[in-house]
A = this chain, B = another copy of it.
């Protein structure tokens, strides 16, 4: 089962057409990844960045915007690992409003030591929490 978190479409997310301006979806997606790490991986961004000097920068993404989202709608974001590398993680992220599919995103991030900017292997306690599932067509 994918992890699911929610985000309400706010005035700040909307463009002159009163629909979500696409860069704002990536703020929502980043928050969904933040929630996934805090709730599932038990690694919150504050501890990682500020205390541990590690981070998870995004290195690539493929995104399709299927239909616009409107002011006041509540979107669900599902987050599921699809591939785990030595230092990387690929996530499938989908935004829905009810049954309506709005956004598909395949995002790869890397675990890096911030001081050097170099990738480092996932610690075992984190790696064990990345439970992959087959991607749906």
Contact = CB atoms under 8 A, between A and B. Distances in A.
A113 B63 CA distance: 23
Contact of A16 (B26, B27, B49, B68): B49
Copies of this chain in the oligomer: 4
Interface string A101-135: 00000000000001001000000000000000000
A15 B17 contact: no
A16 B71 contact: yes
Nearest to A53: B17
B59 A72 contact: no
Given A12-B30, A15-B11, A16-B14, A59 B49 contact: no
7 contacts: A11-B15, A12-B31, A14-B15, A15-B16, A19-B57, A58-B65, A61-B63
- Complex A-B, nearest 9 residue pairs according to Cβ-Cβ distance, in ascending order: A46-B72, A23-B26, A16-B18, A46-B71, A60-B64, A12-B27, A62-B62, A23-B27, A14-B16
